[in-house]
Amino acid sequence: TAFDYAANIERAYSKDSPCQEVGCGCRAFLEEILLPFVRKSGFPVENFQGAFILDGVLNYNNTPGAQTVPEPDVFRTIPAFSNLYDEMVADGYRGNFIATIGRQKDVPLMSVFNKKFAQADSPQFKTRDVTIQHMDIFGPQAR
């Protein structure tokens, strides 16, 4: 799946946004497609542990400078992303990795993905783990 407006909440919820007419981003995917599918399948939703969203997975580019970072001074100060930023700088900003991003409780699921990915035995493809602190940015009113 690909997510439009997933990273820009202000734009996604502005009155002029197309997201007012159609669902945009990973929240819409989760609420409008994935969870209804899980419910229809008969699988208990409370047992659903997560999903792998492979957004941009085919955008491999090993050229130095291919990977850009929005506002690097801010990016590298965010605790979860500082190591990722340092690794990208050390590797010459190459777009040759998949960032596996999740919360602390998602680490076991991320580990399964990373293990399977490593079994492909393609050392040019790397994973970079980012564990973030969970924050409910939408608040209870969005539920």
* Tens digits of residue pLDDT in 105-132: 888 888 988 898 888 878 778 888 888 8
- Please state, as a whole number, how many other Cβ atoms lie within 10 Å of the Cβ of residue 57: 10
Phi, psi dihedrals of residue 124, rounded to the nearest 5°: -70, -20
Mean pLDDT of 22-34: 71
pLDDT of 8 over the 90 cut: no
Residue (of 75, 95, 94) closest to 85 by Cα position: 75
Q: Which runs of consecutive H residues, i.e. helices, occur in 1-143?
A: 9-12, 25-28, 35-41, 72-75, 79-90, 107-118
pLDDT, position 93? 93
Q: Is the pTM of this model over 0.75?
A: no
Mean pLDDT of 50-77: 80
End-to-end CA distance of the chain: 23
